[in-house]
Homo-oligomer: A and B are copies of this chain.
């Protein structure tokens, strides 16, 4: 364990995460990963606590991942589904959150299609004196911290399963390829990966990778690079993260066609030849096979970490819920 204690009450963004915090998350996730290898995969850590999954934007995959993480910590879970809810009756999002708080919710996992909404709920509930913990499970195109943390855990665990830590990425080259502009996954990963000392290369068509992304690299010279074609990003890369392409982007005239996109930015065996021999590929899922990545490559365990990412998701989210929920200092 790092020589530091967890003091954060909410996880809303990675923008101000410290090196120690990354390492605490990684080490805690590693210890839960060990638990998940046993037949009895539950621990009583959060018994009696209530985790409410408030997914104002529908999701099955991420919600189930958080739900299972919570259950394995022995918490009780509540699921809010926007379809059959008071929202359609005119209640505000904050009032919905307050209702779950008043029911006795200890932790809220919140997803919303609008950037900033989760932080704004957290700030309102804090100022009302509550001690509820809030975890941003995706707010618009802003942040998706648990995804970036599970990505980081997946990568570090590959290098040192027993003691994953950010210094392992010092000097590694990591490429993020695709629709950076619309991706909260990319935004959160830019924060975490540039914090590790890795060299981060973003690649995408100019319509999906505006120059403003270079700003974030200004105080980390030589660490963040932008490319409007994929080749320089892949050259000598240790890890390639390819992003989901929302098919709606084309109707917005941001892309010519899926076939054209695949031709220019799709990850294929051919393209990987310029990477490091042991290069690994990540994708946050769900994958459009044959668009972001060729279908056979996605299924090749020599290259693909996609299924490990899902597995890491349970251990990482257990770690996040555990750190938020069991803290003493952060009440």
Known contacts: A60-B80, A78-B67, A80-B60. The answer to whether A289 contacts B92 by CB under 8 A is: yes
Q: Which residues of B contact A80 (CB under 8 A)?
A: 60, 64
In the complex, chain A residues 147-166 whose Cβ is within 8 Å of any chain B Cβ: none
A330 an interface residue at 8 Å Cβ cutoff?
A: no
Could you tell me the distance in whole angstroms from the C-beta of A325 to the nearest C-beta in chain B?
Answer: 11
Could you tell me the distance in whole angstroms from the C-beta of A65 to the nearest C-beta in chain B?
Answer: 6
Known contacts: A42-B47, A76-B72. The answer to whether A307 contacts B102 by CB under 8 A is: yes
Known contacts: A72-B76, A80-B64, A84-B81. The answer to whether A89 contacts B41 by CB under 8 A is: no
In the complex, chain A residues 256-293 whose Cβ is within 8 Å of any chain B Cβ: 285-289
A310 an interface residue at 8 Å Cβ cutoff?
A: yes
Residue of B48, B60, B100 touching A84 (CB-CB under 8 A): B60
Could you tell me the distance in whole angstroms from the C-beta of A102 to the nearest C-beta in chain B?
Answer: 4
Q: How far is the CA of A98 from the CA of B40 in the complex (A)?
A: 22
By size class, the interface of chain A is 35 or more
Q: Which residues of B contact A50 (CB under 8 A)?
A: 41, 68
Could you tell me the distance in whole angstroms from the C-beta of A149 to the nearest C-beta in chain B?
Answer: 16
Q: How far is the CA of A86 from the CA of B76 in the complex (A)?
A: 25
Residue of B85, B95, B313 touching A103 (CB-CB under 8 A): B313
Residue of B86, B287, B310, B311 touching A61 (CB-CB under 8 A): B86
Q: Which residues of B contact A78 (CB under 8 A)?
A: 64, 67-68
Q: Which residues of B contact A221 (CB under 8 A)?
A: none
Could you tell me the distance in whole angstroms from the C-beta of A198 to the nearest C-beta in chain B?
Answer: 25
Known contacts: A103-B310, A310-B102. The answer to whether A60 contacts B47 by CB under 8 A is: no
Query: Would A287 and B76 count as touching, CB distance under 8 A?
Result: no
Could you tell me the distance in whole angstroms from the C-beta of A169 to the nearest C-beta in chain B?
Answer: 23
Q: How far is the CA of A84 from the CA of B65 in the complex (A)?
A: 15
Q: How far is the CA of A84 from the CA of B53 in the complex (A)?
A: 14
Query: Would A104 and B68 count as touching, CB distance under 8 A?
Result: yes
Encode A217-244 as 1/0 by CB contact (under 8 A) with B. 0000000000000000000000000001
Q: How far is the CA of A288 from the CA of B92 in the complex (A)?
A: 9
Interchain residue pairs with CB less than 8 A apart (9): A36-B104, A39-B48, A42-B47, A60-B84, A64-B80, A95-B286, A102-B307, A102-B310, A104-B314
Q: What is the interface of chain A, defined by CB distance below 8 A to chain B?
A: 36, 38-42, 47-50, 58-61, 64-65, 67-68, 71-72, 76, 78, 80-81, 83-86, 89-92, 95-96, 98-104, 244, 247, 285-289, 307-311, 313-314
Nearest 10 pairs of A and B residues by beta carbon? A102-B310, A91-B286, A58-B84, A40-B48, A86-B286, A60-B85, A102-B307, A71-B76, A41-B48, A102-B311
